[in-house]
């Protein structure tokens, strides 16, 4: 079977390629069945709520409402039910403490289930898209509803049932069906003078700003814009809860339906309420607001999340060392009382002197065995540049004993975390592939340091028997801050006769002609001219097909954990390689860092 598939893969005929792609898709579904099941259940619940709510407004109680509005009422209420459900879910994927707790609990039962939590942001985006879709349907349907309410009010013809229904309740306002109570207005005025209309406008504007500012081009280039506008979700949820208070969707009361059957009485509207008639005037009432019942629990959880994060962010953080690495990479070593971490975790950091509101995520590069926490920060934006300057960007190494001694280092930092990531599972695989691109190597610095402590200093036996480490960098200077760790690890592993435990492959993806000439001259030296390691730096990009094939051959029947911290394009390439090379009996399980 595998031999046949390998032949199909190498054939250029359309039928062979189609068969191979169908195989890859089926393999993806099987290998990621839990994610597919979860998403199908989520979609199924959305479909069920939509259909169920649509049908709920086709009953006799809403017969007269449909006389005015037609099926636009059902088209407005069905997406509203789905909105309630998805607004229940939207906050849960960003409750990072809750996810870290669940991850630590679930992974002892099912590593596959725990891995689904690493896709929290992907699911958060899917839910947001679903909210946007149902919001659009809801708005369009209600625009028709407002027009039809207005048309029935200005009809001024007592021989038409919609006009008669719109006049009910004009005398003492005890019961009415049409929320537009006068013909001297228009839908635009109604939209901005009713609770439902005004909150609907606020919700829509907030949602538009949240979604547009979440586009990758804005999030990457103008993070502050994304960060601040995303917090309009507070306005969104307040408006959402208040949206139904006006009870604009109205129908006949249950008691009224018992004495006034709309199917029988709708043709006798001219005699409603008169002596001797069996059709009294119908009584209408609005539906009570229900959204709060859906969102109160996730809102409470999110408030608790923010309170926990606020409490932790107020705990004292002491900066013990600052190192200015080449390629404008800043290393901060800090101490925080009671701080405990696992490999590959990340924290959110804030510098109040730069901004009181901005929090940025950074992967921890320290190991759990160390008595401090450290991060490496690449200077790429306004916030990181301001931090670089505040820490004394013109110096090389600064050790801080007392912040008062050096005014330039008298800066405060707030640290919230740590939070769990996919890299926590590294030591749960017998064979591991670590792939880092540029500064994306940071979570693996923590992993490799922990390996050093476990094997070299503590002589602990770990489940992992082999690590393949790949680091792709665009420039030679970027290697320098990490080279010391690799050199130390290489030396200690050789002394402990553990040369086969770690295989590292470093790739320089871009270089200048002058650098190439120099490196060519130095290439025959014993140590690599760039990293100082025995293992020579490679040039260009890895041939992932060859790398995966070699590992599959070397470890038949094993589960190989593939961990990436890098760009989306590389993630796509590695994901495809994991699928295509699982066919050989070795199972490659892909994990990507998400922040």
What pLDDT digit, counting tens, does each position of 120-144 carry? Answer: 788 899 999 999 999 999 999 988 8
Give the Cα separation of 235 and 21 in Å (integer): 46
**Which of the following CATH numbers is that of domain 315-419: 1.10.1270.20, 2.120.10.30, 2.40.30.10, 1.10.3720.10?**
2.40.30.10
Q: What is the pLDDT of residue 444?
A: 79
Render each residue's pLDDT in the chain as its tens digit; 595 residues: 444 444 444 444 555 545 544 544 554 554 466 678 888 899 999 999 999 999 988 888 888 888 888 888 899 999 999 999 999 999 988 888 888 777 766 665 556 666 677 777 888 999 999 999 999 999 999 888 888 888 887 777 667 888 888 888 765 556 888 888 777 777 777 777 888 888 999 999 999 999 998 888 887 777 778 888 888 999 999 999 998 887 888 888 888 888 888 888 888 888 887 777 788 888 888 888 888 999 999 999 999 988 988 888 888 888 888 887 766 778 888 888 888 888 888 888 888 888 877 788 888 888 888 888 888 888 877 788 888 888 776 555 554 444 433 444 556 888 887 887 777 777 788 888 888 887 777 777 788 788 777 766 656 667 778 888 888 877 666 566 666 666 766 676 666 666 677 787 888 776 655 555 545 544 555 555 555 555 667 777 888 888 888 888 888 888 888 888 877 788 888 888 887 777 667 788 888 776 5
Per-residue DSSP letter, 282? P
pTM of the model: 0.75
For the domain made up of 422-512+523-592, the CATH class stated in words is alpha beta
Q: Tokens in use for 513? A: 């002609």
How is the chain split into domains, by residue range?
1-31, 32-194+246-296, 315-419, 422-512+523-592
How far apart are the C-alpha atoms of 499 and 532, rounded to whole Å? Answer: 17
**DSSP H or E run through 209:** helix 195-213
Can you spell out the DSSP letters for 336-354? Answer: ETT----TT-EEEEE-TTT
- Reported as a single tens digit per residue, the pLDDT across 234-252 is 999 999 999 888 788 888 8
Same fold for the domain at 315-419 and the one at 422-512+523-592?
no
C-alpha angle 245/251/254, rounded to 5°?
110
Q: Which residues, 6 or more positions from 511, have their beta carbon under 8 angstroms from its beta carbon?
A: 475, 476, 519, 539
């Amino acid at each position: 079977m595998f031999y046949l598939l390998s032949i199909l893969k190498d054939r250029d005929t359309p039928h062979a390629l189609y068969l191979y792609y169908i195989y890859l898709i089926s393999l993806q579904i099987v290998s990621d069945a839990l994610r597919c099941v979860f998403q199908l259940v989520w979609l199924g619940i959305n479909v069920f709520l939509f259909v169920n709510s649509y049908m709920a407004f086709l009953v006799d109680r809403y017969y007269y409402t449909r006389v005015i509005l037609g099926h636009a009422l059902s088209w407005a209420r069905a997406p509203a039910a789905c909105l309630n459900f998805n607004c229940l879910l939207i906050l849960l994927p960003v409750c990072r403490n809750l996810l870290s707790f669940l991850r630590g609990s679930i992974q002892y039962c099912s590593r596959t289930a725990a891995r689904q939590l690493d896709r929290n942001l992907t699911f958060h985006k899917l839910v947001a898209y679903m909210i946007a879709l149902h919001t659009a349907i809801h708005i369009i349907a209600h625009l028709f509803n407002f027009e039809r309410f207005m048309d029935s009010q200005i009809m001024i013809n007592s021989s038409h049932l919609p006009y008669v229904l719109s006049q009910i309740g004009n005398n003492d306002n005890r019961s009415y069906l049409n929320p537009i109570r006068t013909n001297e207005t228009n839908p635009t005025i109604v939209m901005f003078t009713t609770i439902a209309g005004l909150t609907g406008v606020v919700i829509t504007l907030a949602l538009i700003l949240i979604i547009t500012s979440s586009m990758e081009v804005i999030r990457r280039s103008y993070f502050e814009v994304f960060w601040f506008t995303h917090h309009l979700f507070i306005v969104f949820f307040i408006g959402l809860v208040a949206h139904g208070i006006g009870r604009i969707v109205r129908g006949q009361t249950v008691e009224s339906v018992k004495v006034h059957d709309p199917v029988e009485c709708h043709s006798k509207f001219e005699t409603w309420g008169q002596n001797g008639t069996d059709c009294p005037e119908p009584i209408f009432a609005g539906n009570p607001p229900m959204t709060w019942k859906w969102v109160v629990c996730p809102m409470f959880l999110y408030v608790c999340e923010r309170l926990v994060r606020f409490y932790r962010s107020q705990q004292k953080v002491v900066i013990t060392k600052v190192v200015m690495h080449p390629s404008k990479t800043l290393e901060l070593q800090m101490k925080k009382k009671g701080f405990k971490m696992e490999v590959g975790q990340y924290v959110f950091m804030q510098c109040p002197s730069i901004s009181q509101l901005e929090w940025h995520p950074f992967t921890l590069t320290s190991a759990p065995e160390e008595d401090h926490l450290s991060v490496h920060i690449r200077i790429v934006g306004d916030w990181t540049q301001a931090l670089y300057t505040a820490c004394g960007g013109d110096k090389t190494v600064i050790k801080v004993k007392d912040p008062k001694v050096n005014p330039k280092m008298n800066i405060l930092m707030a640290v919230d975390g740590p939070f769990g990531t996919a890299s926590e599972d590294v030591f749960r695989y017998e064979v591991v592939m670590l792939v880092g691109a540029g500064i994306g190597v940071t979570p693996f610095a923590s992993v490799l340091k922990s390996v050093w402590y476990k094997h070299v200093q503590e002589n602990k036996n770990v489940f992992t028997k082999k690590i393949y480490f790949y680091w792709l960098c665009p420039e030679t200077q970027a290697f320098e801050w990490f080279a010391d760790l690799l050199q130390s690890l290489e030396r200690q592993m050789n002394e402990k006769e553990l040369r086969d435990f770690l295989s590292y492959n470093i790739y320089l993806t871009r270089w200048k002609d002058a650098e190439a000439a120099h490196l060519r001259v130095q290439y025959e030296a014993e140590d690599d001219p760039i990293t100082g390691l025995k293992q020579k730096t490679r040039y260009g990009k890895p041939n992932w097909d060859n790398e995966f094939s070699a590992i599959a051959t070397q470890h038949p029947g094993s589960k190989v954990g593939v961990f990436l911290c890098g760009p989306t394009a590389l993630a796509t390439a590695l994901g495809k390689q994991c699928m295509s090379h699982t066919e050989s009996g070795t199972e490659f399980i892909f994990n990507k860092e998400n922040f």
